[in-house]
Every structure is written in C-alpha cells, then in structure tokens.
Amino acid sequence: MAHNLSEQSTFPDLRGPWEDAEQRIQDAHKAVQELKSYLKQQNEQVTSAKERLETQKRAQIEKKRIQRSQTDKNKLQQNLEALQSQIGTQPGGYAFEK
C-alpha cells in the first residue's frame, strides 16, 4: 500500500471548493516525496542486512573448510609419525603404500 501511495502524483480528491486546496495538494506532494525517501531508505537497510547475512554464511562455510583441512592435515601428520618408527622394515613399506 505504501508503495502505491509513493507512486501517486495527482490528488483529484483534494481539488475542490476549499480555500486551502492548493496548500493541501502541496502538502500531499511533500508527503509523497517523504514517503518515497523513507521507502528507499528501508529498502537499502533490508538489502544491506541481506548482504551482511550472506557474508556471514560465506565466512562460516570458509571457516568449516579450513577446520576440515586442518583436521585432515593433523591426521596425515599422525599417520606419517606412526610410520616413521617402521622405516626400513617390510611392514613399514606396506603400511606406507596404503
């Protein structure tokens, strides 16, 4: 409804036998301009909030990816350290191939 009102440019209901008809029309135009400004500001706030949420989601995804990478690296390091004691042995060679 507010969007429809912000698009209004003529005010036929305000034209009439009143002495202050022109003042009413000017006030209506001013109110419409203020409403347009307000709606634009609200739209920008909603857009920035959505962008902020999207950025947070991307950051969370990246954080999880980094954590998985770190976990994988730690597992590989542990496996390598376990194999280190078997260097030069036949079972150590087979274990290394896995």
pLDDT in tens, 55-69: 999 999 999 999 999
* Predicted confidence (pLDDT) at residue 7 exceeds the cutoff of 70: yes
Q: Cα angle vertex 35, ends 33, 40, to 5°?
A: 95
Mean pLDDT (whole number) for 73-92:
84
**Residue 88: is its pLDDT beyond 70?**
yes
pLDDT at res. 63 = 95
State pLDDT tens for residues 16-39: 777 888 888 888 889 889 988 999
**Model-wide pTM > 0.75:** no
Whole-angstrom CA distances from 73 to 32, 45, 68, 77, 78 are 61, 42, 9, 6, 9
Is the per-residue pLDDT at 94 higher than 80?
Answer: no
Residue 90's pLDDT is what?
Answer: 78
Q: Give the amino acid at 45.
A: Q
The pLDDT of residue 65:
95
